[in-house]
């Protein structure tokens, strides 16, 4: 009976897979024909970057393009987000594809003619604005994917939901946005999404390659704020004070023992970093209070709880031992869960990536302590987040300009591979899950 069921299933599925194969040949031609347009979109976005929840020009361009393709388009999602729905001509699953839209408060230093000269206000300070993480590339690639799949709408076995998301890089304290807010506003519903795919371009990964990782791919992030309260005094008479600067120094040093002494480092990695410390304003005054901010990165839920508990314990008890008090606010500002790629889905879809890039150009990657709010989508539905090479051929990963820096640079020749990969994932998932 099981064999009969298998043969019946194959009889119904084979035409769908054959059609998918024909469509993927069309994807290659269409994607290659769009290369110059993808680069033009990317350079325009790069020259006119916008910070999170302020992507007004950016979202207008995206919405106009999606409407021109005949998609159902919703704007203003989670402030500036754009969602386009492409309903295929045949029944099947709903696949979501996501790109992030926001830039960073970074002054650009790259010697390209389309370098950003934009300045704006952020947290009360004038800052430069730059696409220093590749979101301009992500948007342009997904706009091309929408054009490719819209051109074969009648043949699609299912629905595609294109999610252009604001504020992936976080927001000033008190604002809401990003993937978490989009999920809260129902972006994975109506129609209900069955699987979600996304990509990130990487400045240190060779162009023409794709990397992936099942399970924990990118870390959970917990920003933290530690406030140490002491007793102020004249700097010439420290015995009259409870010096919060000295206490803070002891806390900072002790925090480093969490990774070196509490974490099972052969199984998982973690990071505890202090990014800023502020206290006092004169050479001869011991201040009353010191404030520190930093970040915690972890790759599984147990480690996340352990590290947060230890940070609080070390801050509070160290201060207490030295006659001060401390409070640790974790998370502070925001929290991103672990970016967790569904292992079964990764195994199922790996041939799709290999078909797009060539098996020799697709490889397993190490988990990293960077973070991504794509994780909020993956908490709700199975998903895969892949990494696209953007380093020029012959480059050195160790010296390639890092993300979030003024010199961040991407080789544009790899964009069409991103288009082909997302299209393959969509078509093959539909073929495997169509009735």
**Phi and psi at residue 123, to the nearest 5°:** 50, 40
- Report the distance separating Cα 55 and Cα 66, nearest Å: 16
- Write out pLDDT tens, residues 261-318: 999 988 889 999 999 999 999 999 999 999 999 999 999 999 999 999 999 999 999 9
pTM, 2 dp? 0.92
Domain 13-219+338-433 has CATH 3.40.630.10: yes
Residue 405 pLDDT exceeds 80: yes
What integer is the mean pLDDT of 348-363?
98
Mean pLDDT computed over every residue of the chain: 94
Selected catalytic residue, list 50, 108, 168, 303: 168
Mean pLDDT of 95-107: 98
User: What pLDDT score was predicted for residue 180?
Assistant: 97
Q: Give me the sign of the Cα torsion angle 312, 315, 318, 322.
A: negative
Summarised one tens digit per residue, pLDDT across range 67-88 is 999 999 999 999 999 999 999 9
CATH 3.40.630.10 positions along the chain are 13-219+338-433
Given 102, 136, 194, 333, which residue is catalytic?
A: 102
The pLDDT confidence band at residue 171, using thresholds 50, 70 and 90, is confident
Band of residue 18 on the pLDDT scale cut at 50, 70, 90: low
Q: What percent of the chain has pLDDT over 70?
A: 95
pLDDT digits (tens, 9 = 90+) for 321-340: 999 999 999 999 889 999 99
The pLDDT, as a whole number, for residue 3 is 45
Lowest-pLDDT range, 122-126, 166-170, 196-200, 376-380? Answer: 122-126
Location of each CATH 3.30.70.360 domain in the chain: 220-329
Over the chain, what HEC string results?
CHHHHHHHHHHHHHHHHHHHHHHHHHHHHHHHHCHHHHHHHHHHHHHCCCCCCCCHHHHHHHHHHHHHCCCEEEEEECCCEEEEEEECCEEEEEEEEEEECCCECCCCCCCCCCCCCCEEEECCEEEECECCCCHHHHHHHHHHHHHHHHCCHHHCEEEEEEEEECCCCCCCCCCCCHHHHHHHCCCCCCCCCCEEEEEEEEEEEECCCEEECCEEEECEEEEEEEEEECECEECCCHHHCECHHHHHHHHHHHHHHHHHHHCCCCCCCEEEEEEEEECCCCCCEECCEEEEEEEEEECCHHHHHHHHHHHHHHHHHHHHHCCCEEEEECCCCCCECCEEECHHHHHHHHHHHHHHHCHHHEEECCCECCCCCCHHHHCCCCEEEEEEEEECCCCCCCCCCCCCCCCCCCCHHHHHHHHHHHHHHHHHHHHHHCC
220-329: CATH topology = Alpha-Beta Plaits (3.30.70)
* 190-232 confidence digits (pLDDT tens): 999 999 999 999 999 999 999 999 999 999 999 999 999 999 9
Q: How far apart are CA 106 and CA 5, in angstroms?
A: 58
168 noted as active-site residue: yes
The question of whether 288 is a catalytic residue gets the answer no
**Burial class (CB within 10 angstroms; exposed 0-12, middle 13-18, buried 19+) of 366:** exposed
């Amino acid at each position: 009976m099981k064999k009969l069921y298998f043969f019946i299933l194959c009889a119904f599925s084979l035409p769908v897979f054959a059609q998918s194969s024909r469509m993927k040949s069309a994807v290659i031609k269409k994607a290659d024909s769009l290369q110059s347009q993808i680069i033009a979109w990317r350079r325009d976005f790069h020259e006119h970057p916008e910070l999170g929840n302020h992507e007004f020009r950016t979202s207008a361009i995206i919405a106009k393009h999606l409407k021109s393709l005949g998609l159902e388009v919703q704007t203003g999602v989670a402030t500036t987000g754009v969602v386009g729905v492409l309903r295929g001509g045949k029944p099947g699953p709903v696949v979501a594809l996501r790109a992030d839209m926001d830039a960073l408060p970074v002054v650009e230093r790259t010697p390209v003619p389309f370098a950003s000269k934009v300045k704006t206000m952020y947290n009360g300070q004038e800052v430069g604005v730059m696409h220093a993480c590749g979101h301009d590339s992500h948007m342009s690639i997904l706009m091309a994917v929408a054009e490719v799949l819209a051109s074969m709408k009648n043949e699609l076995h299912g629905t595609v939901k294109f999610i252009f998301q604001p504020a992936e890089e976080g927001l000033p304290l008190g604002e809401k946005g990003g993937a978490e807010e989009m999920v809260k506003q129902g972006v994975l519903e109506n129609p209900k999404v069955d699987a979600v795919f996304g990509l990130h371009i990487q400045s240190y990964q060779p162009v023409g390659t794709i990397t992936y990782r099942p399970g924990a791919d990118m870390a959970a992030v917990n920003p933290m704020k530690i406030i140490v309260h002491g007793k102020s005094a004249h700097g010439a008479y420290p015995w009259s004070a409870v010096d919060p600067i000295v206490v803070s120094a002891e806390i900072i040093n002790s925090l480093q023992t969490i990774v070196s002494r509490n974490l099972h480092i052969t199984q998982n990695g973690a990071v505890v970093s202090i990014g800023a410390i502020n206290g006092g304003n004169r050479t001869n005054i011991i201040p009353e209070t010191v404030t520190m901010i930093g970040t915690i990165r972890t790759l599984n839920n147990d480690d996340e709880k352990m590290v947060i508990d230890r940070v609080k314990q070390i801050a509070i008890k160290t201060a207490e031992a030295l006659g001060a008090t401390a409070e640790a606010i974790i998370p502070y500002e925001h929290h991103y869960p672990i970016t967790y790629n569904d292992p079964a889905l990764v195994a199922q879809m790996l041939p799709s990536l290999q078909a797009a890039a060539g098996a020799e150009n697709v490889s397993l990657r190490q988990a990293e302590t960077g973070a991504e709010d794509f994780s909020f989508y993956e908490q709700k539905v199975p998903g895969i987040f892949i990494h696209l090479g953007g380093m020029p051929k012959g480059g050195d990963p160790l010296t390639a300009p890092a993300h979030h820096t003024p010199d961040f640079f991407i080789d544009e020749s790899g964009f069409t591979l991103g288009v082909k990969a997302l299209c393959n994932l969509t078509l093959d998932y539909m073929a495997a899950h169509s009735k």
